[in-house]
Structure 1
Amino acid sequence: MKRRSVLSLPAAAALAAPHLTDALAAAGFEGPSVVTGNLPVFHERLKDELTFPLAWPRAHDRDFRGWKRRARHQFESLLCEPADHTPFAPEIIDEQAGPGYRRRQIVLDLTRHSRVRATMLVPDGPGPFPAALLLHDHGAKFDIGKEKLIQPWYDDTRLASAQAWATRYFSDRFPGDHLARNGYAVLAVDALGWSDRSGLTYENQQALASNLFNLGSSPAGLMAREDARAAAFLATVPEVDPRRIAAVGFSMGGYRAWQVAALSDHIAATVAVCWMTGLKEMMVPGNNTLRGQSAFYMLHPGLYRHLDIPDVASLAAPRPMFVTGGELDPLFTAEGVAVAHAKLARVWSDQRAAHRLRTETWPGLGHVFTAEMQDEAVTWLDRHL
């Protein structure tokens, strides 16, 4: 009887594999390394599809006020969080004398769901004063929020943590206290996840985001609405001139500053430090945003099908805006910053308000808000408020 050779299935697969790989390649098969660096291999094609059709200007859209209404409506529709008109019901729970200003703790209904503690500094004297809504950064540091910007006189543990933060990023200063010494009333409130509203870690940001999405909200949308509410509250404080309120923030706080200016007419001027770029230029291999996690606080799903990042900030035009940052900031490409500054300049120029926009890149500096930068911001605010 003639013997037959039997080939095992694994062996047959091994022999067939090179031929199968060639066939798949010839057929244009996408795999196997479709996701690299947290990006799909087709990410450049996705970026090419983003044409920002709602950006200013378009040939058929020369009515700036009409454009702002349409663009803001589109932006707000993607926040995943409705506007809130809950009465603030504020209560001052602590007030102490400081060096040229009063230190105040206030409890208020920031939203229909959250009654929170805010800190405020009010210059000595009758007022009304110009004011600044201070927006804290992310920094993956959740034990302090408002304390990053206003020295926490009420908590020694947070004071030590906040002082270290001020040393690292703010030339040993608390930017809010510096503004108060220069005649500004200032208010700071924690975003969800920080300080009084803590319980967050770097690793569970994604879980929080997905759970909020399932509940019909989002981290970024909630933060945007809360910041607009904080601006509205600041306008009700008796010592504050409601026509002279600025939004001031560093890093994620810089993002929050121009975002709340885009959403709220209570904001008369904006200082945004170390957060401005074009979207396409930010979505490049190796960028910090591609890690996810913290990015959820600055992510409105679907927004960039309509508007680029500087297009959203342009909703604040022609009100004064100062956008600044360090030349060596590792979070943003030089190209992205240049693209954003050019888009902003086009909008303010079209509204004959180029003198109200300032964009600046500090040579040799990284992701910081130094004493010199703070002094320049105060001088700029004095001129416009």
Structure 2
Amino acid sequence: MTEPEQLPYLKKIYPTLPAMLRKFDRFARKRAFMGKSVGEFERWRTETRTLLHELLGTEKMESSPAQPQLLSTTAVEGGITREHWRIQVEPEVWMTLFLLVPESADKTTSVFLCPPGHNGAGKYSVAGVRGYPPIDEKIDHYHYDYGLQLAKLGYVAACPDCRGFGERREDPADTTRLSEGLKGDCYRLAHMGEPLGISVIGMLTWDLARLIDWLEADARFDTQRLGALGFSGGGMQTLWLAALDDRVKMAAVSGYLYGYRDALLTLNSNCSCNYVPHLWEYLDMGDIASLIAPRPLWVQSCRDDRLNGPRGVVNVEEQVAIAHSAYRLLGAPDSILYEICPGTHQWHEEHLTENLAFLFTHSMT
């Protein structure tokens, strides 16, 4: 069998991106908040949430009883119990999760949702499940075990598999192949959902809201001061959930809050889960973050994260500034914290205790 011939040498290519950048500049962000009063902002928030539910397709999602099932319990380091659950989020659609419960936890213990990002095998890296070399490597590289870090500090951490990850893969064979097993099936979900008007973000946001429903019904822990913390794709899920669901009382978004033009249009090979049809015509990411105000928001980015786009952290700072203007208008300018960390794309826990104190302090005001 002969080797295939090489492809033709192309001295020049003619890409579409420059034209799409011009279109972005012409058509984007036409529903940004332009008012001056709190009343105008609250009307904008209501109208914008309605618009986003339409764009995400969450109105097409189907309610169902949770039918929770405890699959196993495992004792892990520091007296923490790792509960393995499954709950139903739509008819015949199941979410699997690890619930990390410190031995001191009771009805006064706050809960954090800790959705996973990419390339970490879903909930396993976030919950710090070691003993699998590829997962160990991702935990060490990205500092990925933020769910376990929170549990060690005494919080209950809900670490779910989002659709397409971990036990929620579409193709069982993917779990036997290393690269596919670490990543997710977002492109499959996009191909199934978008022609029906349902985006991947819509599916993931719906599922996390159903997780809150179950935690509230379970009533073992304090969900009145519920938090959400996520890195990368987990930051994406945290951003959208907090923007659309006021039950999230505090949010931490790491490695995600950046402008769409630089980070998702110019860097257009990013995962399908980031893309919502027609979204850019209406809003940028800072506008979505504005919907969280005045609830406390901690944004974390890394100076050399390539996902920031070609202009670096300037692209993040611009979006934080958009959100900050909403916080100022609502009388909570100190309830948004922006942290720039050294290095490339990764979660940083160095100031976790202090920054959690910030979230809790401002959630009381």
| TM interval, short-chain normalised | 0.7 to 0.9
The code of the aligned residue for 1:320 comes to P
| CA 178–331 in structure 1, closer or farther in 2 if over 3 Å, else same | same
Q: Which residue of 1 aligns with 2:3?
A: none
1:163 corresponds to which of 133, 136, 140: 136
Q: Tell me by how many angstroms 1:373 deviates.
A: 4.6
Query: What SS does the corresponding residue of 2:101 show, helix, strand or coil?
Result: strand
Look up the equivalent residue of 1:53 and give its one-letter code: K
1:253 maps to what in 2? 234
Provide the secondary structure at the position in 1 that maps to 2:307.
coil
The aligned length equals 336
Aligned to 1:197: 168
Structure 1 match to 2:19:
42
Report the counterpart of residue 299 of structure 1 in structure 2.
Answer: 275
Measured at CA, do residues 42 and 165 of structure 1 come closer, stay the same or move farther in structure 2, by a change above 3 Å? same
**Residues 1-385 of structure 1: matches in 2 within 5 Å?**
35-36=14-15, 39-58=16-35, 62-82=39-59, 83-98=61-76, 99-125=78-104, 126-139=106-119, 144-152=121-129, 156=131, 159-170=132-143, 174-198=145-169, 199=171, 201=180, 206=187, 208-283=189-264, 285=266, 287=267, 290-292=268-270, 294=271, 296-332=272-308, 333-362=312-341, 364-384=342-362
Task: Say whether the 8 Å CA contact 2:295–2:362 is kept in structure 1.
Answer: no
Deviations 1:277-296 (A, max 9, x none): 122233564x2xx115x1x1
**Residues in 2 aligned to 1:103 and 1:40: alpha-carbon distance in whole angstroms:** 46
How many angstroms does 1:162 deviate by? 2.4
The aligned residue for residue 15 of structure 1 is none
Secondary structure at the aligned position of 1:316 is classed as: coil
CA RMSD in angstroms, aligned pairs only = 2.5
Q: Provide the residue aligned with 1:28 in structure 2.
A: none
1:32-52 Cα deviation digits (max 9, x unpaired): x8951xx34422320222342
For structure 1, the 5+ residue unaligned runs are 1-32
2:110–2:221 Cα contact (<8 Å) kept: yes
**TM-score (structure 2 length as normaliser):** 0.84
Q: How high is the sequence identity, in percent, across the aligned residues?
A: 22
Check the 8 A contact 1:235/1:266 in 2, yes or no: no
Q: Distance in 2 between matches of 1:182 and 1:132?
A: 12
Q: Which structure would you say has the larger Rg?
A: 1
Q: In the aligned structure 1, how far is the partner of 2:298 from the partner of 2:262?
A: 21
CA contact (8 A) 1:136 1:250 kept: yes
Q: Aligned-pair distance for 1:244?
A: 1.0
SS in 2 for 1:349: helix
Contact kept in structure 1, 2:238 and 2:252, CA below 8 Å: yes
For the 8 Å contact 2:228–2:248, the answer to whether it is kept is: yes
Matched letter for residue 303 of structure 2: E
Shift of 1:382: 4.5
Question: 3-state SS of the aligned residue for 2:212?
Answer: helix
Matched residue SS, 1:365? coil
Q: Which residue of 1 aligns with 2:9?
A: none
Amino acid in structure 2 at the alignment position of 1:357: I
d(CA) in 2 for partners of 1:120, 1:205: 24
The 1:68/1:256 distance shift into structure 2, 3 A limit, reads same
For residues 332 and 356 of structure 2, the distance between their equivalents in structure 1, rounded to whole angstroms, comes to 20
* AA at the equivalent of 2:288: V
Post-superposition shift, 1:320?
A: 0.6
- Structure 2: runs of 5 or more not aligned: 1-11, 175-179
Report the CA distance shift for 1:127/1:305 in structure 2 as closer, same or farther (over 3 A).
Answer: same
Distance 1:375 1:239 in 2: 24
- 1:269, CA displacement in angstroms? 0.3
